[in-house]
Structure formats: C-alpha cells, structure tokens
Chains A and B, each alone.
Chain A
Amino acid sequence: MKARTLAGVILTLAALSLSGCAVGAGSGRSAQEAGDDFRQVLNDTQHAVGGEWEVRDDPTPRGCSIPLWVEGERYPALRIGTLPTTAAQLLALVEEYWSGLGYAVESTDVGEATELQAIGEHDETFIFRVSDNGMTLQGESECRPH
C-alpha cells in the first residue's frame, strides 16, 4: 500500500514537472522581492521616459493564485505622467527598453493613445500608454506565495 502511494506521488510530481506546474515554479523570489524588482523596472522605465510622474503604487499586495491552487500575492503599480517629448519618441524608447529586458512587447492603438503591453518571464505585466494628453504606466508583479 505504501509503495503504491509513493509511486502515485512520484508520478504526480513527474507529471507536474512536465506540465510546467511543478511546486516551486517561478522565479524563486519572495513576493516582496518580486515586487521590488517589478517596481525597479517601472522606475527605470519612468526615468528613461522622463517627464513628471505621479506615483500611485499601492504598497498593499493583492491576492493571486499560483498553479496548484497555492495562494500568492502580487504588487500593483499605477503611475500617471505628463509628456516631456512626443508620444512617438516615448513609445520607441519604452519598446526598446522592454524588449532589451527580454519581454514580449505588443502595441495597440486606442483612439489617440497607443498602448504597449509587456509580459515578463514570470507573468509580471507592464503597460505603458501614451497620447498627447498624457501617459500611464501600470502593471502587477509576479505572483509569489505569501
């Protein structure tokens, strides 16, 4: 009976490993570290873009679920800025910076605004939206266990 149980556990773990849902998947960082790294990317992006920004990042993490129904948390960010130069220049700058970090960047036009969306290796999300009326930088850090 014990041998059968052990075999079941091994099989389950093997299946999870193959499906990418293994226990411990992700960056291995703590939620706080993931949040810090996430905000650092935003800070660098903000610095590269220039202009004046109002930082409305909520320091309170939000709940999220990691595969295998593990409860986790992630940090949100919301920053609103005014343009230092043309929207086209800023878009090119941010796309180049995020692509350089290895993020997959997608661009969408929304009326007069253009939105860049990037997703990091560990599902951290970044959105940069800009028009002549202003710009927004927002997203959420990697979901990590409590």
Chain B
Amino acid sequence: MLLGIAALVSASVAIGMPTEVSGMHENRPPYVLSQSIDLVHDPLALLRRTDLAAAAPAGSGLLNGLASLAPGEIPAYAAQNASALTKLVANPPAPRLVTGWWDMLPTSSQVALTSAVPEMVGNLNGIPYSFRNLANRTFLGQTMDGLKTQLETGVGRSQATEAQTRLAALTEIEEALGEGDARPGRELVSLSVSGEPTAAIALGDLDEADYVSYLVPGMFFGVQAQIGEWSDIAARLYTEQVSWQQLLSEADATTADPATTADVAEHTEPTVATVAWIGYQTPHLLNVGSLDLAYQGRDALTSTIEGLKATRSGDQPYVSILAHSYGSTAALMALTEKDFMVDALALIGSPGSPAKSVDELHVRNANVFVGEAGWDPITNTSFFGSDPGAASYGAKDMSVSGGTDVITNDTLLPSTGHNEYFAEGTESLRNLALIAIDQGALVTDGTTRDQARTLALAR
C-alpha cells in the first residue's frame, strides 16, 4: 500500500500534475462537515462549493475547499492558504470528521494533498497512517533541506543556533526511523516542528495491526534527546509481544494441526504495532509541578487515539496505553475527562491524577495495571491526586521486581528507581508486553498467585 502511494506521489510530482481523477470512494461513511453541506444526501455538494476556497477558509471550511478542487489546483491553493493550513493543523477538526472527509476524496486528490500539503496530511488524526507516514517523511525531508539551506546561506547567530538545534532534532527522528528495510516497518505518524518538536514513530502497521500500544513518556522526554531511545523501547516491546504470541502459539499443541500450521500462521497470526509517542511537550524540573503540560498531553493523546479509532472504524484493534510518570497523569486525565475508551492501561512510576478509582477511567473491564519500582521517588506520592497503586484505587498490581518467569523460567531483571521500567530483560517489559496483547492473566503481581499463572490462563 505504502509503495503504491509513494509511486503515485512520485509520478504526480515527476510530471508536475496529479494523476487522473478517479471515481469517488464507494461505501463512504455518512458524515456532515458543516451544517450547510449535507454529504449524506448530496455527495457532490462540496464540489459545487468553490466559494469556500475564496473566502479565507478555516477548519472544516478549509477541508471543504481542498475537497472542491481538482487535484491539479491543490498546490496553488495550499500555497495561497499556507497560514490557514498551519492553523488547521494546530486546531484540527474531530478525527471522525477528518476520516469522513478523507474517505470521500478520490485517490488522485489524496495523493495530490499528500504531496502538496504534507504537514497537514501527516498530522491530521483521522487520515490513514500509510498516507501520514509518507507525508511526514516528505515534510521531514523538506524541513531539513530548508534548515540546511538556511545555514549554508548564512543567517544571524541566534537564527543559526535555532536552526542547528532544530536540525539536530530532526536528524534524530530521521535516524530513529531506521533502515529503509526495517522489520517491522517504521512509520512517522506525526511530526510537528513548530516550537519544541513532537513526533510519533509506529513500529508495525497501524492501519492493519490487531494490537496497538502507545508508549506515553513523562518528564524530560524531548524528541532530540529521546526519540531514538523511545523507538528502541518500542522495538523491544514489539519483539517481546511477537515473541510471546509465538510462544503461546507454539506451546499450545491442542489447537493446531501441525500439518497445516504454516498455512494457518500465514493468514491468522495476530499482528501488533507499538508507537513511540512523543506527542506533547513533556515537563522539566521547573514546570513539572504544574498540570499545564498534562492538559496538552491529555488532548494530544485523545486526538491520537480517536484518530486510530476513526481510521479503523470497521476493524477496531485492541488498544493499550503504556504510560510512564507525568505521561501517566496525562493519560489518566484523558481517560477520565474525554469520551473514548481503550482496552488496557498500564501506569508505571505514576504520580497519580484526580481520578479516585479505576471505575472513573474509560478502560474496558477496568483493565488497569500499576507498576511501582523500588526506590522510585515518584510512586506513592499522589502528587497530582490519588495514587493508582493504592489498594482502594482498584487497579491490578504489575510486578517489576524481577525474578524467574513463571512460564518460561527465564531470568527477569528488576527495575529500580524511576527510569528502568522499559529496560531490556526486565519483568516490567515482559508484563507490559503481555498487557498490550490482552494476556493480562499472565501478568505477574509478585504474590503467591503467580505460581498459578500457567499457560492454561492464556487467551
């Protein structure tokens, strides 16, 4: 799919024109972008509303304007409305509206938009990830080229310093995307370069994966210093999830016919995707005591998950949030205050949130786990409200103290302090992987109950 889109974009760029307009998508989801345009009953209404393009449009009106254009007109329109497009990205329509808008566009327009307005396509939650990846990679390259040109042509010292800093951050993103033939493939699913950069890199296919887990970071997590490390952690988590799925499949001899295992595995093996998400500006020492950035994180995470759910409307994946430290506060606020639901939540090193129990969280079946490492000064502080690790909160304990794996007999390392929850070979990483693939019954809690966690509990 990605190669196909890339080829289409390349072709349209190479000849300076978009590809031929194809027919509109069939089976469009019904939606209405604005009250004055009813696409359910009049799908061609947008195409007649060229007036929207001429009236300094914003928000949904801007999307309408883009939809009303022939693919060849999109680049000029985008150039004329660059400022409005930037505002649209900063204050986007609801993801379900974006998905509806995108789905009604002909492929040629989708391709033209991806090429002409990559920053918008790359960052609008609700657009399929294959397009967003391509758009963000394009935008990344264009922005880096622009910064290099700026530095080469000579600018003032402060501008040069800023350009160098920005370029260094973007270079880290480029490196974190890995090799071109990375396995699993890595997708740049969001990228913002205005102000402190934010970005999210998915390992696996977000358009198709059966299990999707988001890694949400806490304080001191910026793109320049941590996107590489965060992607590494997402990669390890991905491998751990796949390894457990394989193990559970291989260990259970009662469900498969050996003669046909290869065929079955080829078609039915569940797939996973992990997301190294640095989608908000995380706090530093001077502002970690405030919830201001947690509100940003709450909103960004909400839009992110709603975008996933909108694009996967007919094929919902199992969604989990694995949140650390201040990121857990942002996630808790999103899952309390916003109207979306996830399938599992893991909170590690959490300073808490105003929610008082799992009953207030939009997590299916109260599937909430809490990990607290020894010598972690943040846990048990209830700094931002209730302590999710308290018994009264109702979350399940997730052991992070290390030991011997009750299933594989492997040695599991302990996590100590605030920053070892994602370390390689730890019980913490093992349990996070199992939570993300809906194997919560195998998650250890450090009690004698763990001896009863056998493969018979696997789903």
Contact = CB atoms under 8 A, between A and B. Distances in A.
A134 B261 contact: yes
B41 to A, nearest CB: 48
Contacts of B20: none
Interface stretch (B22-30, B93-101, B176-184): B176-184
Nearest to B455: A111
A82 B182 contact: no
B247 A129 contact: yes
Interface residues of B, number: 34
Contacts of A68: none
Contacts of A130: 250
Contact of A60 (B178, B408, B455): B178
Interface stretch (A1-9, A11-19, A23-31, A112-120): A112-120
Contact of A115 (B183, B228, B252, B408): B408
Interface stretch (B9-17, B72-80, B231-239, B443-451): B231-239
A108 B246 CA distance: 16
- For B184, B251, B410, the residue with the greatest tally of chain A CB atoms inside 10 Å of its CB is B251
Contacts of A80: 246, 265
Contacts of B183: 56-59, 78
B121 to A, nearest CB: 25
Interface string A77-108: 01010110000000000000000000000001
B250 to A, nearest CB: 4
Given A131-B250, A133-B249, A138-B239, A59 B265 contact: no
Nearest to B182: A60
Interface in A114-146: 115, 117, 129-136, 138
A49 B186 CA distance: 31
A129 B182 contact: no
Contacts of B251: 110-113, 131, 133
B249 A134 contact: yes
19 contacts: A52-B262, A56-B183, A58-B182, A58-B184, A59-B181, A59-B183, A60-B178, A62-B235, A63-B229, A63-B232, A76-B235, A110-B409, A110-B455, A112-B251, A129-B247, A131-B251, A133-B258, A134-B262, A136-B250
